[in-house]
Amino acid sequence: MLKSFRVAVCIVGEYIIFLLEIITHLPRIKKRFLEILKQMKRTGYDSLLLITVTSGFTGMVTSVQASYQTSGHIPKSLIGVLVGKSTMIELAPVLTALVLTGKIGASIAAEIGTMKVSEQIDALETMAIDPCDYLYMPRVLAGLIMVPLLTIYSNFIGIFSAFILSVYKYDVNGYSFFSNMRDHFHPSDFWGGLVKAFFFGLIITTVACFSGSKTSGGAEGVGKVATLTVVYSSILILVMDFLVATMLFGGVN
């Protein structure tokens, strides 16, 4: 038990040092601008279809659940309020992050893990190329930028799909759907979701890069690292979701 605790503390310490190293390389953004754009495309544009499908069905499910749970209690015209708040505050950032964990996090971990076990990272260091500058920082920065942007896109798709279903299935007036959402909208609903998305992007990319950099054991080790990246990132996302929600919304009565 004590040994496991020590190992966990060591891993956390190494992760924090890894994160600080990435921060120290942020002034070199201009030098790695093209690589950052490449990673932004990989994280953002290449994930649009997946986010569209996920957000669309999530929005429709939210509309169905809101209609069922509020039936006979509040007017159907307020479905837009429930959909808007739940999507912006919780569903869009969390589901987007969890989907990207499986797609981007596992991919980054496997890619860097393969480079580690095939000694490509050692070769970079031999040529005086810092892996943190060349490999890790562009991927982390791309995640910090694209996860919030994908969350905004997810908000739009989720709310729009809920609107379509509410109008055509539950006979909700389209104008009332959006007017009530606007009347009950608070900027903190939107910005709170983006704050969550920012931290989620940090978790997905840093955990993937850190795990990949610690890979050993050949192909089996790469597969193990990719799996563990998804598991640990998902857990940390849910923990961070609670912490950020408590800080931003926990004091509201």
Q: Where are the domains of the chain?
A: 35-248
Per-residue pLDDT tens digits for 134-158? 899 999 999 999 999 999 999 999 9
User: How far apart, in Å, are the Cα atoms of 188 and each of 58, 88, 194?
Assistant: 22, 10, 10
pLDDT per position as a tens digit, 84-135: 999 999 999 999 999 999 999 999 999 999 999 988 988 888 888 888 988 9
Q: CA 35, CA 170: separation in Å to the nearest integer?
A: 48
What values do phi and psi take at 16, rounded to 5? -65, -45
For residues 108 and 203, the answer to whether their CB atoms sit within 8 Å is no
Residues in contact with 118: Cβ distance below 8 Å, sequence separation at least 6, in sequence order: none
Its sign, for the CA torsion 46, 19, 95, 83, is: negative
Read off the pLDDT of residues 183-237 as tens digits, 9 standing for 90 and up. 888 888 899 999 999 999 999 999 999 999 988 888 888 999 999 999 999 999 9
